[in-house]
Chains A and B, each alone.
Chain A
Amino acid sequence: MKKFSLFIIILLSLNINSSQADEIELQNKITKNLRCLICQGQSVFDSDSDFANSLKIVVRNKIDEGFTENEINDFLIQKYGEWILYDPKFNKNTYLLWLLPLLIFLLGGAIIFKKLIKINK
């Protein structure tokens, strides 16, 4: 019985360890995508400023509370504005940002295709 409970304890602690590693990974993933607002061109993950450090703690706490990545991002957007996210969301402000390059690609392809067809006729 003693052995068994020891085994359980080890198992549990292993579990906690691995979930901790997951949490750190998630925290890194999120903070790499956040702009350090007081730095210049640095992510929260890369920065060592007070702001970045406190934001790392905020993200950490939110993860502990069981928030998902999206929920944490939304929370931060509410607080600091979209400026903080390096990965701009797809919404009415950014339709053009995301779609324009793709449209240009399609347009270019169409022009080339049309010319090739015309010449090969």
Chain B
Amino acid sequence: MIYSTLGYYSLIFGLVISLPLFFFSTKNFKNQYPLDFKIIIFSFIQLILVIISFLGLILSFVYSDFSNETVFNNSHTTKPLFYKITGTWGNHEGSLLLWLLVLTLFIFIFLIKSEGLLKKYRILTLLFQQIIIIGFFVFLIKSSNPFNYLIPAPKEGLGLNPILQDPALAIHPPILYLGYVGSSIIFSSVLAATTLNYISNTWATHIKKWVLLSWVFLTLGILLGSIWAYYELGWGGFWFWDPVENVSLMPWLALTTLLHCILVLEKRYQLKSWVIILSISTFALSMCGTFLVRSGILNSIHTFANDPERGLYILTFLFILILISLLIFFIFHKEDKHKFNSFFLFSKETAIVINNWFMMYFLAVVLIGTVYPIFLEVISSENISVGPPFYNKLIIPFLIPFLIFMAIGPQLRWIKTRLEKKLNLILLFVISLLVSFFIIRNLDINFLINTVLIGSALYLFFITIRDFILKKNINISQNIAHFGFSLFILSILFNNFFSSEVITNLKVGEKFNNDRYEIFFKDLKKFEKKNYVSFVGKFSIKENNKESNMEPELRIYNQPNIITSEADIKTSFLSDKFITINTVNNKEYFNVRYQVKPFMIWIWLSVLLISLGGVISLFKKYYEK
């Protein structure tokens, strides 16, 4: 009880702190003095208050204080301590409080880290960020208060959805939110810089750090969610083109585009308006992500969090923010009159513009695929589903030129490149196609498109490896990220082509045979755990005379009463073995699903490599030519 009260009042006081912040900022904005230290102090106090509020919520969860409605709805006394804590952000109210926490944390870091930049710019960024922060404070206090009382206090809580009781998913939201909210700093900063006509090379170098930071967290956040889906949802896929996955992918695509074109602004002082538009849309997409997930508009596996009224608030809030940014863009933004237009056809700039062009197309596909069904339903009340085949058809063909440009782009120089020395690039492409041809030859798949597709991915793969050898440390971060991407595409393609699976019904003591595998259901053991009963199946699987034991599990949770299927996965460098069991109506039998998935681990590793590129770039002092 005490922790909830504490949390609630620090939230109120946190909102009140915005007043002195506004007061001192506007005063300081007009006068000649350097940045008023009081502004930093008040930002710090606001941050501390939000932290206290957040701790209050965590402690309410830890002590299972069911007089708090959020705790009652999402926790249970028998839940392990770890999941009690992570349950704090596994729900709507808590996750918004986390949003707010990161918002205040980031603006505080921004204020400290932006020393040496224009004072007016720093203050204005703070003010824009404060608008967002106030929006979230009001939203939290008014319509999603995490500290609502329940009187009388119930004896027991409703529990957390068991599929969310998982280590990867426990840290997935915080990491993802660091990425989402990082884009708020970019948003506030770009509005401030536009108003002050401060968009410049210096500004680009400074904001690039924030772009990289958000991008790394967003990438890792999506990766964690994907890994979780792979082993927890139990059908062995890792990306379903589910609307909720898509809404996290969209800001990622926008941010990746921004990451590239901000380089052009930094090095060549061009694409100013484009950078502004991208920064605004990245943040809008991040907000949309929160809105779409939390409003329950989407029909998806994530609809455990829904409430249309809250969605309406976020939507209105977002609408106001976009309106403000559009006004600022049209009133304050001026194209430079004396800019030196030197965009040559064969230059790094052009390559980056082409990258942006494709990225925007991918973004358009994902955006339209996600929102179109909603609009169609509203307009004509007809329901359609947009699933993986749609995205595959529209994205895969475009990947081919995209990969090729991705390989060639970094070979070009800024301003202008001569092409004479680039013959070996073509040679390498021919080699890649040949290698791809020999891989594809014996497979029963669409020959032409796959040869070219794998060929292009291999091309990027070879070129980045060549650059590791030839250029050593020059541009290493970019090269690692691009290498990671080629590995990513290759792993997904090979994973698709070479996967095999067996689905059958077995009871204890039975065997399944086919020409490749022998699956023997040896035994079934029952265990009583703290908040669930577990049935572990003992299987032995023979393939090529090699035998391995696997133990998939079925869990029957007590609160809420839900059965989950826990896959047993044996990971090796070349492939994953994946087995799940499920109940069948006929009680003695279990539905057994065994899959062999090649290169699975390389999908995760390659995404890690991609983010590693971002991390290196973040800590690197200078961006080399």
Contacts and interface: CB of A to CB of B under 8 A. Distances in A.
B91 to A, nearest CB: 18
Interface stretch (B15-23, B62-70, B201-209, B363-371): B363-371
Contacts of A105: 357, 361, 364, 398
A84 B389 CA distance: 13
Interface string B581-614: 0101100000100000000000000000000000
A94 B368 contact: no
A86 B383 CA distance: 11
Given A40-B300, A40-B303, A87 B387 contact: yes
Contacts, number: 98
Contacts of B368: 96-97, 100-101
A40 B385 contact: no
Interface residues on chain A, size class: 35 or more
Contact of B372 (A33, A47, A97, A116): A97
Contacts of B383: 81-83
Nearest to B240: A41
B345 A41 contact: no
A88 B384 CA distance: 7
Interface stretch (B133-141, B336-344, B405-413): B336-344
Interface string A51-86: 000000000000000000000000000000111111
Interface string B266-305: 0000000000000000000000000000000001111100
Contacts of A33: 387, 389
B382 interface: yes
Nearest to A43: B387
Contacts of A119: 341-343
Contact of B344 (A47, A85, A94, A120): A120
A48 B591 contact: yes
Contacts of B235: 42, 46-47
Interface in B350-397: 350, 353-354, 357, 360-361, 364-365, 368-369, 372, 376, 380, 382-390, 394
A93 interface: yes
Given A42-B235, A46-B237, A97-B368, A104 B387 contact: no
B242 interface: yes
A104 B342 CA distance: 26
Contacts of A43: 387
A88 to B, nearest CB: 5
A112 interface: yes
- Most A-side CB within 10 Å, residue of B342, B344, B368, B591: B368
A114 B350 CA distance: 13
B341 A101 contact: no
Interface string A83-121: 111111000011011101110110011001001100110
Contact of A101 (B302, B353, B361, B388): B361
A108 B357 contact: yes
B385 A104 contact: no
Contacts of B382: 81-82, 93
Interface in B302-328: 302-303
A86 B387 contact: yes
Contacts of A85: 384-385, 387
Contacts of B361: 101, 104-105, 108
A101 B280 CA distance: 21
A83 B301 contact: no
Given A42-B235, A112-B353, A119-B342, A86 B300 contact: no
Given A40-B299, A97-B372, A120-B345, A88 B385 contact: yes
Nearest to A108: B357
A100 to B, nearest CB: 5
A99 B570 CA distance: 43
A116 B380 CA distance: 42
B364 A100 contact: yes
B345 A116 contact: yes
A94 B388 CA distance: 16
A83 B364 contact: no
Nearest to A84: B385
Contacts of B365: 101
Nearest to B398: A105
Contacts of A104: 360-361, 364
Contacts of B591: 48
Highest count of chain B CB atoms <10 Å: which of A33, A47, A48, A115: A48
For A41, A48, A108, the residue with the greatest tally of chain B CB atoms inside 10 Å of its CB is A41
13 contacts: A40-B299, A41-B240, A42-B301, A43-B387, A46-B235, A48-B582, A48-B591, A81-B382, A86-B387, A87-B390, A93-B382, A104-B361, A108-B357
The 10 closest A-B CB pairs, nearest first, are A86-B387, A87-B389, A83-B383, A46-B235, A41-B301, A105-B361, A104-B364, A101-B365, A41-B300, A48-B582
Interface of B: 235, 237, 240, 242, 299-303, 341-345, 350, 353-354, 357, 360-361, 364-365, 368-369, 372, 376, 380, 382-390, 394, 398, 582, 584-585, 591
Given A86-B385, A119-B342, 10 more contacts: A40-B299, A41-B300, A86-B390, A100-B364, A105-B361, A105-B398, A108-B357, A108-B361, A109-B357, A116-B343
